[in-house]
Structures are given as structure tokens and as C-alpha cells.
Amino acid sequence: MTRTAIVTGGTRGIGEAISLALKELGMNVAATYAGNDDRAREFTDRTGIRAYKWDVADHQACLDGVKAVEADLGAVDVVVNNAGITRDGTLLKMTFEAWKEVIDTNLGGCFNMAKATFPGMRDRGWGRIVNIGSINGQAGQYGQVNYAAAKSGIHGFTKALAQEGAKVGVTVNAIAPGYIDTDMVAAVPAEVLGKIVAKIPVGRLGHADEIARGVAFLCSDEAGFVTGSTLSINGGQHMY
């Protein structure tokens, strides 16, 4: 049986690596994106993975987008909530809009996608939801009260939904990446990035495919006894 997976924010960075990893497992993969049409087109041409455009912060767009994917690829069995944005700033400088945009996308997107897919997974008796959190949701980070709050919320969301899905064959887990060599991290000033790497015990940034391998395991049949868990992949930077 061929599974169908949706990876939000799946056309670049960690999301692209996850999309490719799930394709390698034999799944039909749909990758969502929010804005960069040229990048999405290049991604599809290079990988053969279909890209669908919608904003995960828009509840109705998620419902409609999932219906479109199911019409093209079949019922959705796997969702990886990877889409995320940053609007960094200290609380004194942060606008309400910067707060709301990050909460609505990074945390609200998880709710929206689960509402669109969890009922079908439950009815079919099998499903996998993996939510991408962050080391900064576990440990906090100066200048990121919005991002840290949203990512921390993902871990609570994961544990609660896992309890709803456990008896009906639907697992819900999270991965908390550390600092990964993506475009988002590349935007960090060099002197700041150097200080970050100095705090990582393994002495380097992580790679997107290292996160993707963790996601692939959690989305597999073999991970059926793993639910409500957060897998930290951070080079030892934060342990608890």
C-alpha cells in the first residue's frame, strides 16, 4: 500500500530534505509552500514531487488544500508540520503583528493541518503526524518570545493529540532540531553564528538530512509504538 504524505514548507531547507526522504520510502509526497513560485517550480522539476501553494495559517486554505492533494494523490496518511517563519525582536520592540504571524503560522498551522487530516487517519486506523519544533522552544532564546512560544506550544500540542490518536493507530510526535545549515540560519550574522556553533558539543551545525532521517523513522510502520515523544536532534546543545 502506497502512503500519501504532506510536508508543509516542503520545498526548501529541512522541508525539502523531509520531502525527499519520504519519497525514498515510497510515499506519494505533496510539498506545500507559501510564496516563492519559482523556487517551488524548480523543486518540482528537480525532484518530481508536486508542490501546492497555500498558507498554513489560513484554516480554510488548509482544508481546501488537503482536499486537492487527496484528489490528486489519495487519502493523506502522513503529515509533517514543518512550515515556520521568524519575526525576531525583543518584547519591547516586537509588534503584535509579529507575534500573531509567528503564532498563527508555526503553531496554528499544526492545528489547521491536523483538523484537515486527523479525522481521516482515525477512520482508516493508521496515521502519522510529525511536528517540527525547535531547540529554542525547549530552551528559549533571547529576542524570540514569539518563536519560542510557538515552538514550545508544539510540544504540548503533540503530547495532547498523541493521546487522542493512540488507540486508533495514529501516532503524533515532534522533532526539535538544533541549529541546521539552512537559509534561515545562514541569515544569522557570522559573529553570532560563530558563538552558536561554539556551544554545540559536536562542533558543527546540523544537516537537513539528519532531521529528515528522524522524520522518516517516525513516519514508518516500525515507529508504531512511539507517540507523544519529542526527538531532539541538536548535536548535544540542549539536553534534558
- In this prediction, residues 174-185 reach a mean pLDDT of 89
How much is the pLDDT for 192?
Answer: 85
Q: What is the pLDDT of residues 194-228, one digit of tens each?
A: 988 999 999 999 999 999 999 999 999 999 999 99
pLDDT at 240: 78
User: Per-residue pLDDT averaged across 163-191, rounded?
Assistant: 91
What's the rounded Cα separation, in Å, for the pair 178 and 234?
Answer: 4
Q: What is the CATH number of the domain that holds 132?
A: 3.40.50.720
β-bridge pairing 28-33 and 127-132: unpaired
Contacts of 137 (CB under 8 A, 6+ apart): 147, 148, 149, 150, 151, 152, 153, 154, 155, 176
Query: Distance (Å, rounded) from C-alpha 171 to C-alpha 165?
Result: 6
Q: Produce one character per residue of 209-237: b if its CB has 16 or more CB atoms within 10 Å, e if not.
A: bebbebbbbbbeeebeebbbbbbbbbbeb
Q: Is residue 26 part of a domain?
A: yes
Whether residue 239 lies inside any domain: the answer is: no
Domain residues for 226? Answer: 4-233
Is residue 227 a contact partner of residue 166, using CB atoms and an 8 Å limit?
Answer: yes
In a domain, 131, yes or no: yes
Query: Does a structural domain hold residue 240?
Result: no
- Does residue 39 belong to any structural domain of this protein? yes
Domain-located, residue 110: yes
Rounded to the nearest 10 degrees, the angle between the axes of helix 37-47 and helix 13-24 is: 30
Q: Is residue 59 part of a domain?
A: yes
- Say how far apart CA 30 and CA 158 lie, in whole Å: 22
Q: What is the pLDDT of residues 122-159, one digit of tens each?
A: 999 999 999 999 998 898 888 999 999 999 999 999 99
Q: How many domains does the chain have?
A: 1
Whole-number average pLDDT of the chain: 95
Which residues are tagged catalytic? 147
Q: From the CB of residue 169, how many other CB atoms can be counted at a distance below 10 Å?
A: 14
